[in-house]
Chains A and B, each alone.
Chain A
Amino acid sequence: MLKYAPRRRRTALLWPLLAMPGIVWLALLFVLPLYVVLTIVFGQTDPIFFTPIPVWDPLQWNSAQMQYVFTHLIGPDGFYGPPFVRTAIYVGVASVLCLLIAYPVAYFTARLAGRWKGVLLILLIAPFWISYMMRMLGWVNMLQTDGQVNAWLSLGGLFDVQVDWLNGKAITVVLGLVYGYVPYMILPLFAGLDRIPQSSIEAARDLGAGRFGAFRRVTFPLSKPAVIAAILLTCLPMLGDYFTNDLLSANPSTSMVGNLINNALFQPGQIGQAGALVLILLVVSLAPMLWYVRSTRDEGVKS
């Protein structure tokens, strides 16, 4: 018995030892910063320099910053309201468009592409290797007034098209978001659709379902978890997006919550408001985030 005792103790020690650096890292650079957001939002402001003074003790927190943001959400002084509404609409429309594009593409690649599946998959992953900024740069160039898009729309000089796409056009921003985030939707959908056993679809067809019936009653219900996960993985980052807007519109008439945060961060005296806006976004995205974490964790346990 004694002979094995040291080894067993070492076994018990090895896993905590391996996990510890990561745990410390997450505590210091993930949990702590999130707490710092709270200390600044609910902290004091220096009366002279308007710089925030973090308050670490939750018992001494005050909600002045939150109140400021909430009173400016609606009402006559509600300059925070429109960007919030815009964010909801843009992200909603962009997600629906993303899904309308991503689902057929993912479905085709996963189930029907046959020997082309590998090639298609690589091309679908390719946008991940291309910097987001470069993909946006491509559009900034093409959407110039003398750019390719207007040239194509003029049908070879037939019409004189001089659309100024890059100046406060909501459609440019929404399509930019779709373009930017659609790859993030295709991959989880692909993974979900690829996992559905061919036999269950064949069974539906054998039992008399047409191709649309089989899709409506078997494939689509089975792919629902993947659809929800995919929507989540694209919606959450879109909520905080400000750079797509800055590159494709750069106009307050299309600004979103992300733009509010980004602008407030570099205004002296508005740091606290930036923090309050971040906190609101965090609260909004918390429920979907927890749902996602729980579902992936349970999946790990099951398999």
Chain B
Amino acid sequence: MRTRPDRPAAPGPRPRQALTAAAGVTTAVALVLALVVAPPDAVQGEAQRWMYLHVPAAWSAYLCFAVVLVACLPVVRHDAARPRAVARAAAETGVALTALTLLTGSIWGAQTWGTWWVWDARVTTTVAMGLVHVAFLATLALATTRRARRAAGLVGVLGFLMVPVVHLSVVWWRTLHQPPTLLAPGAGAPIAPVMAWTLGVCVLACTLLTAAALLTRVRSGAPHDAVVPARPAATAPAPRPQATP
């Protein structure tokens, strides 16, 4: 029942199209707000606009890894096939967004910190979060038995532990990265209302885009299962690691 191939792998075209349309409209509004309406920062100048891509990308990566966690629970329990496809799509999207976070952070850092890359706790744990999920994808691709797939699901569940570590790394350790402004433990830091609004719309746009990408990926990736040894040309879904030292 769960693996019946004719069953649609995700919501049909109409909800998906509505989601894609909402994502498109929100993204257009977000771009105008981030590039035109929001003022440059008093200290960082125009470079601060990278925040409107960097923060949503990081948030969406967290969200993807939360989806991996939830989807992997039934995989661990009884090797569920559909949640496994969702977990794989979410991990792939999450790894791509982690790479985008590191890339935008690097450019922003070059313009404000004065360096492209530092191995401070925030950057180090973010790279580790990406690598853990690359390892999860590889484990999933290699799992051909029920037992192995359940073990891979456990990697996906435990991998989520990296999310709070990354988010709180700037609080737990002294980093070059500044502490959080909005999702901060205790009181956050002051941010001009227009900047907060812009960031909010950007986060919403990125979340919708991520959801649309995830659904598309689940649909296209659902028929594929583990890479079987008999078919050497079969697709291995694990992407290349994005940032290794």
Q: Do A and B come from one complex?
A: no
